[in-house]
Amino acid sequence: MIDFRYHLVSIIAIFLALAVGLVVGATALAPKTEIILRKAQTELSKNNANLTKDKQALTNQVSADQSFATASASRLLSGLLKGEKVVLVVAPGADGSVTTGVTAALRQAGAGITGTVNLSSNFLDTSGQNEATLTELAQSLAVKAGVTLPTRSASAVGGQQDAAQVLAATLLNPLGAAASGGNTQAILSAFSNFLSLASGTTLAPAQLAVLVTPGGTAPQPGSEVLVALALALRNAGSGTVMAGAVSSIGSGSVISAEDSAGQVSTVDNADTETGQIITVQALRLLLDGKAPKQYGIGPQSAPSPAPTPSPTASPSTSASTGGHK
């Protein structure tokens, strides 16, 4: 019978053989392994240097493009929305540079800003109690706003849909008339738990709207609610654009959800000078009866609105007028 000491010696011999094999193998392979690793390190360092160089070149290009946009803004925007009234509706957590930049671009285009409406996080709350509260509130204010609401929406955000219709009718009117009932201030005051008005808001009826999306990386809360609000604003006015910052786009973002719905134009780089100019141009195109489109840097977005070709004089016309002098 084999005793325990025999098993112990056998086990020790096995581990000793493994240890010797590892030492011998490592010693034999060390030079080749070192050469391979050094080559890989050199290649990675080279690739990293090239990527760093490319990144700096792209950064410089973007900076130059934005400087060009800033310098060209007066030519690109002047008179584009002269006499038009625009309201800004800002979602909770929105990037401040979008709101201030778009506001400046609108004014440069000759538009009048009737005010900025800041939504609170309560407006995005889809809990049952909040839905019921918004539905009841919207139903009680519908007559003053001049809208007819369905008896009961089957949507999970039915309360926000009802409230959105009332708010849109209060803030927007293509003909510039006051909301039915003439009590815009009372309607907005009734929604004080769900929104606030920025200083300087005149509450005059607007024809156009810009809906500024939440900031931060995607996914973002309230996508379904804000898409419903975008639809209500579109139906109540002459044109609506949803605008957001580059850092907030991507799968699950509010702009991505709206792009899938295709109800209003979107601009996903409105925190840049270029995007702010495009936001104004997109409003102009909607006023001119063009269909909503996606603009910005996203995979499915156009980099900018297509320019309208200038009419060219025919040869006979040029001849009759003597041509350019």
pLDDT digits (tens, 9 = 90+) for 92-145: 999 999 999 999 999 999 999 999 999 999 999 999 899 999 999 999 999 888
pLDDT the model gives residue 311: 39
Asked if pLDDT for residue 309 goes beyond 50, the answer is no
| Highest averaged pLDDT of the listed ranges 153-167, 178-192, 273-287 | 273-287
Read off the pLDDT band of 182 (50, 70, 90): low
Q: How confident is the model at residue 250 (pLDDT cuts 50, 70, 90)?
A: confident
Least confident range of 177-181, 247-251, 314-318: 314-318
| Identity of the residue numbered 251 | S
Distances (CA, A) of 207 to 168, 176, 212, 288, 289: 11, 7, 17, 13, 14
pLDDT over threshold 50, residue 316: no
Give the separation between CA 218 and CA 198, rounded to whole angstroms.
26
Q: Name the residue among 205, 218, 232 with its Cα closest to residue 150.
A: 232
Most confident of 29-38, 141-150, 237-246, 307-316: 237-246
Q: Where are the domains of the chain?
A: 7-64, 80-295
pLDDT digits (tens, 9 = 90+) for 10-32: 777 787 777 767 666 666 666 77
pLDDT band at 35 (very low <50, low <70, confident <90, very high): confident
Residue 284: which residues within 8 A CB-CB, separation 6 or more?
A: 80, 81, 109
Q: Give pLDDT, residue 64.
A: 61
User: Rounded to the nearest 5 degrees, what angle is found at the Cα of 198, between the Cα atoms of 192 and 201?
Assistant: 100
